[in-house]
Amino acid sequence: MKFRCERDVLVEALSTAGRAAAGRSGALPVLGGIRLTVDGDNLQVTGTDLDLTISVETTVAGGTDGVVVAPGRLITDIVRALEPGAVSLEADEEELRIASGRSHFTVRTHPAGDFPRLQVPSGDTVTLPVGGFADALRQVTRAASSEDSRPILTGVLMVAEGEGLRLVATDSYRLAVRDLRGVGVLAEGQRVLVPSRALNELMRLLGSASGEVSLRLGAHDATFGVGDVLLTTRLIEGEFPNYKALIPSSYPSRLIVGREALLDAVRRVKLLARDATTPVRIALRPTGIELTVITTDWGTATEDVDAKYEGAEMTVAFNPNYLIDGVEAITGDDVALDTLDALKPATLRPTDSDEYLYLLMPVRVS
C-alpha cells in the first residue's frame, strides 16, 4: 500500500475515524487501530470499537492499492506533528512508513486480517435536514445517562410521532423531548434506541455540514452519512421507559423569565455550590424570583431576577447543573417554567414553540 496526501486532510480523516477506535483498557489491541484502505486514488480510513464505527473517504495521489491497520492515536499524533505539506505513507505486512520533508517514521502495524469485518449498511436510505436535526440532537442528548450500568437510559429514543419524528432521552432525573415535524424517517409506530455516544459524535460531524444527512436503519444498527463520512452504530435492545406518563397534562403555575438573565444568575449563585449535589432554590413570587444557594461550609448566595409569575407562591429547588442544561437547550429570549408543587416534576419550554420540553425532577430541601 502506498499513497500521498496533504497533511491537514489526512489529520482530519485520521482524527475523525479515530474517535470510534477503542480507547479503553481491556479491548483487543487491533480495536485501537485505524484501517487505511487504498483503492486507486480513493483512501478509506476506518475506526471501530464494534459498537461504533466511523469511516471517512478522501482522495489521495500516487496510490498503490492495499490495506494496513496501524495504531490509531500514534499515527494521528505523528501526522499532526509534521510540517504542513504533502505526507507520504507506504506499508507492507509488518510496518507503516510515514515521511514528510526531513521527517521519517516507521510504525509497527497490526495484522489487517485481525480487524473486524464490518457489516455493509442495510435498509432504505432516508434524509433529514442537517440544521434541524443537529439542533434537536443538541437539545436532547444532554438528558441521556452516561452510566453504562443502565444501558437503556444511555440511548436516545427515535420514534414516529404524528407526522414527524420525536427524539426522547432521560437519565431518570430529567427528560428531554423534541419533535421534528414533517420529518418522516420512520414508519408509523416504529421506534429505535440509538446510543447517545454515537449521536454526540454525529453532532461533531453536523457542526461543519450543510444540506442533508442520510440515515439507513437496519435490524440491529443505524448508519448516518454526512458528506464523505459514514457513522454506524449498534442499536440498543430493550424497552424505553414510558416517558409520557411522567409529563403532567397541565400545570397551575407558570413562570416566564428571560433566558440569559436566568442563566447568568444561576451560574453566579452556583459558585458557592462546591458540591454538585447542592441545589439552587428558586422562590417563585408575582414580582419576580429569588435564587438562593446555601452551604454549611462556604456560606450563602442570593440573587433576584425580574420575571412574570402566575400561581401560588412557593420555593422549588433543582440540581443547578441540570437546570443550566435545560435553559441552555432552549432557543428564544424567554423561558417558561411550569410547576405543580415543590415535589413534583417541573418543565422548561420555549415561550414561542411547543416543539421542545425539558422535564426536571426537583430536589427535596428543608
In the predicted model, what is the mean pLDDT of residues 79-84?
97
Question: Which CATH number is associated with domain 125-245?
Answer: 3.10.150.10
Q: How confident is the model at residue 276 (pLDDT cuts 50, 70, 90)?
A: confident
pLDDT tens sequence across 134-171: 999 999 999 999 998 899 999 999 998 877 899 999 99
| Calpha distance 233→157 (Å, rounded) | 14
Q: Name the CATH superfamily, with its identifier, for domain 2-114.
A: DNA Polymerase III, subunit A, domain 2 (3.10.150.10)
pLDDT tens sequence across 231-248: 999 999 999 999 999 998
Domain boundaries defined on the chain: 2-114, 125-245, 250-360
Distance of CA 204 to the CA centre of its chain: 8
The pLDDT assigned to 24 comes to 65
The pLDDT assigned to 207 comes to 85
User: Are the beta carbons of 265 and 326 closer than 8 angstroms?
Assistant: no
Q: How confident is the model at residue 25 (pLDDT cuts 50, 70, 90)?
A: low
In this structure, the dihedral spanned by the alpha carbons of residues 120, 126, 130 and 135, taken in order and rounded to 10 degrees, is -100
In this structure, the dihedral spanned by the alpha carbons of residues 49, 131, 216 and 36, taken in order and rounded to 10 degrees, is -40
Q: In the chain, where does DSSP find H-type helix?
A: 7-18, 72-81, 130-140, 196-206, 259-269, 320-329
| Calpha distance 127→32 (Å, rounded) | 31
The pLDDT assigned to 209 comes to 76
pLDDT tens sequence across 86-101: 999 999 989 999 999 9
- Map residue 23 onto helix, strand or coil: coil
Residue with cell 439542533: 135
The pLDDT assigned to 149 comes to 87
pLDDT tens sequence across 118-139: 877 777 788 888 888 999 999 9
The pLDDT assigned to 199 comes to 97
| pLDDT exceeds cutoff 80 at 340 | yes
Of the candidates 132, 196, 120, 101, the one whose C-alpha atom is nearest the C-alpha of residue 158 is 196
Sign of CA dihedral 343, 349, 355, 153: negative
The pLDDT assigned to 26 comes to 58
Min mean pLDDT across 58-72, 98-112, 173-187, 253-267 is at 173-187
In which region does residue 145 sit, left (phi positive, over 0), alpha (psi from -120 to 50) or beta (all else)? Answer: beta
Q: Which residues make Cβ contacts (< 8 Å) with residue 227, sequence separation at least 6?
A: 205, 209
Min mean pLDDT across 45-54, 71-80, 205-214 is at 205-214
Relative to beta strand 307-310, strand 253-258 is: antiparallel
In which region does residue 80 sit, left (phi positive, over 0), alpha (psi from -120 to 50) or beta (all else)? Answer: alpha
pLDDT tens sequence across 280-337: 999 999 989 999 999 988 899 999 999 999 999 999 999 999 999 999 999 999 999 9
- Architecture per CATH, 250-360: Roll (3.10)
* Fold match flag (125-245 vs 250-360): yes
User: Are the beta carbons of 127 and 215 closer than 8 angstroms?
Assistant: yes
The residue that leads in pLDDT, 59 or 126, is: 59
In the predicted model, what is the mean pLDDT of residues 19-33?
83
